Amino acid sequence: MKILMVGEFFRGALSESYFEAFQQLDCQVKRFDEVREFYKNIPGFRYSRYLYLDKTLGIYFLKLLNSELLRVARDFRPDLCIIFKGYRIFPETILKIKKDTQAVIFNINADDPLSRNWGASSKMVKMAIHAFDCYFIWSKYLTKKLKEEGLGSVRYLPFAFDPEIHCPQQLSFKEQDELGHELVFVGGWDERREALLGNLDDFDLAIWGAWYWGRRCSDKRLVSRWQGKPVLAQMMSKVLCASKISLNIFRPQNIGSINMRTFEAPACGTFALAERSPEAATFFQEDKEVVYFSGARELKEKASYYLAHEEERRQIAQAAYQRCLKSNYSYLDRAKEVLDFYREFSLQRQAQGQKKYRVAIVSSHIIQYAIPLYRVINASSDIGLNIFFCSKQGLISKLDPGFKEKISWDNIDLDSLHYKFIKNYSPFAAVDRTYGLINLGIIGEIKRGKFDAVIIGGYFLLTFWLAFYAAYISKTPIILTGEPPSPYKSRLRILIMNNFKRLFLPRLIDKASAILYIGQKSKEYYLSFRRDIGEKLFFCPYSVDNDFYFSKAKEYSPKKDELKKELGVPLELPVILFLSKLIHWKRPMFLLETFARLNIPSVLVYVGSGYRYKALKKFVAKENIKNVVFFGFQNYTQIPKFYAIADIFVFPSLGESWGLVVNEAMCFGLPIITTDRVMSSYDLVRHGENGYIVKPEDKQDFQNRLEYLLSHPEERKKMGAVSLEIINKWNYSEYLKGLLSALDYIKKK
């Protein structure tokens, strides 16, 4: 296997340790030293850190560097290219290497690529993030942060130790005398480190680090402890081994995580006194293998204690050393992880290339119900799926106008998907306004993609029209899908909107190669604009992740009383569940008023938040209504427990394009009471068999149906069984069948 490595190479550098590790794994490895290459033809500027920032001369030499890297890659033709950080590498260069050599390109970054500190990151590093096939990062926090930035593939790859460098050292008497101290700190200067080390004036402390300690440190006592230079490789290991205690104080970007010294000091057999971190404690046990501190006072106390207890110090240091040897903490082990992922990635890419269809989906944002569906489609042997997200809403915490609080879903796992976030140029970014998404980049993505079809989820957003345009000019077949309009509008408004749509929607339907309808009302909607499109209509049921909800129902059903007790819900009373946003047209107040009139003891549970919450609470207090419980917004993985304690699911909405909460409730075998304004009721609710469909204005009928189910537990059980029978056939597998039928139809045309 051929690997091209791009970085700065010297003994003790992260890139050099990986270079030697890959060689031990019998890989053919070639170095490209970007630092030497950049400065080799610049007399007088050798190793200047600022030259490459220059907008004239610096850019010229950067272009020379990138041209040379491209030439080397073309000549060497690697299977894998690993770029360490990529401080000076253009994003275009990465893409050209991919195109010209078909190499997989990874990034291993020892810093924070999102940092504003130019020493840790740069504009070029940030611009290139999305160009890599995988981004390896040392911090769990940064792994999550990069995923929130929309990075397609991010992998956690902790730091490690190099057994050729970081190991116990045999010191001469002279070396021990010159290098030995009570405490040693090896690392660069920053204000935080200065503040913590400034409290150790009573100790024999040595500081090894770059010139910042001499020029920027304001504490003259610490400047006098500075040894005048940094130490690397074997020399650093000797410094660590010569001293009694090695101090590890994090830079701001490492707080709560790990750094290189987390592994290097224990691997040298040195006693480590390190800043406390939840992540570091997963590698070395506190007070058994490494001693941790939080704050200056604890640092000073523990330094004093362990200097006075040599045998205890020796045992802890030995335990940490043995942990390094036994727990696969070396760079050789990390290199194996990289190669394992490379093989996995290559197999996935090969499988994608062998699939029958390449399909793109244009998605407005991260939708919690859609992500599991995308995984099912992509896992099929016939469809290779590429997803273009137009917004990060749902992935990052953002104010939801319906819930009236910041929401980010906890079931979002994009790792197995091929996706990209397209930049939104709208000055009024939102997913619920026509002009809220203007993702110009979607045009180029569709034109370059050469897809067998592109699925566009409606026509409401400007970005969807950009996608239609791109598909039209690139002759990419269009698959139109989406929810029908919500019936929660006045009849006059619906009439006006339908007449307006007749100006463009019939033509759009004609241009679409296939249409996926999600249910009965969806099909009727498309047919109302074009009666002669029956052959290109394909049924793809609007579904939820049934397997997830079935598994949760199986897990929670035997614990119903236990869950009720945990949630503070009376055990002996039947539970009526409302799970949705607390907004006007969902009619939570209508349900509360009905509940107040019931003659049968029961509990009303609200799960959700919204602007009607205060009015509901006020009404409960004013009317002194008992057994009403509000649980507020609950995330995706927390919702199942509320379905599990429920006996009846009620959804009295004035208008829903579908209403996926009905699907969810049926997965738990619940009877449903809803209105004929909820579009899912026409497909999922059989009146009198698994629930009731009522007229929104018929208050008495609604109350009667609710009282009947409350007073007839056996009927609830029968209806729940029918709900399970219906929803069993309303799943992602059926959606996949419909999509494949549409693709086969397009291919035959």
pLDDT, position 56: 58
Q: For residue 539, what is the enclosing H or E element?
A: strand 537-539
Give the residue from 116, 131, 156 where a domain finishes. Answer: 156
Give the residue from 94, 126, 156 where a domain finishes. Answer: 156
Does 726 lie in the same domain as 623? yes
> Which residue is associated with the tokens 């701001």?
252
Question: What does the longest C-alpha to C-alpha distance in the chain come to?
Answer: 96
Does 569 lie in the same domain as 477? no
DSSP 286: B
* Residues spanned by the domain of 375: 356-539
pLDDT, position 685: 97
Low-confidence ranges of the chain (pLDDT < 50): 47, 49-54
What count of other Cβ atoms lies within 10 Å of the Cβ of residue 297?
10
Give the residue from 496, 521, 539 where a domain finishes. Answer: 539
Does 410 lie in the same domain as 264? no
> Which residue is associated with the tokens 């929607």?
505
Does 550 lie in the same domain as 524? no
Would you say the C-alpha torsion 328, 334, 338, 341 has a positive or negative sign? positive
Does 370 lie in the same domain as 299? no
In a domain, 351, yes or no: no
pTM of the shown model: 0.75
3-class state of residue 454 by DSSP: strand
Whole-number Å distance between alpha carbons of 56 and 38: 15
In a domain, 341, yes or no: no
pLDDT, position 493: 65
Whichever domain contains 429, its CATH number is 3.40.50.2000
3-class state of residue 692 by DSSP: strand
pLDDT, position 491: 64
Does 578 lie in the same domain as 724? yes
SS (H, E, C) 200-260: CCCCCEEEECCCHHHHCCCCHHHHHHECCCCCCHHHHHHHHHHCCEEEECCCHHHCCCCCC
Query: What are the C-alpha distances in Å from 378 to residues 78, 353, 384, 728?
Result: 28, 12, 6, 22
Q: For residue 606, what is the enclosing H or E element?
A: strand 603-607
Does 568 lie in the same domain as 532? no
In a domain, 346, yes or no: no
SS (H, E, C) 65-133: HHHHHHHHHHHHCCCEEEEECCCCCCHHHHHHHHHHHCCEEEEEECCCCCCCCCCCCCHHHHHHHHHCC
Does 574 lie in the same domain as 723? yes
In a domain, 435, yes or no: yes
In a domain, 387, yes or no: yes
pLDDT, position 494: 64
pLDDT, position 52: 47
Does 9 lie in the same domain as 132? yes
In a domain, 365, yes or no: yes
pLDDT, position 402: 65
Does 315 lie in the same domain as 360? no
Q: Strands 2-7, 28-33: parallel, antiparallel or unpaired by DSSP?
A: parallel
Whole-number Å distance between alpha carbons of 550 and 665: 10
In a domain, 739, yes or no: no
pLDDT, position 191: 94
Does 427 lie in the same domain as 456? yes
Query: What are the C-alpha distances in Å from 127 to residues 92, 121, 124, 151, 699?
Result: 10, 11, 5, 12, 58
Question: Do the beta carbons of residue 610 and residue 581 sit within 8 Å?
Answer: yes
Does 577 lie in the same domain as 528? no
Q: Token digits for 507?
A: 């033509």
> What's the domain count of the chain?
4
Whole-number Å distance between alpha carbons of 149 and 426: 18
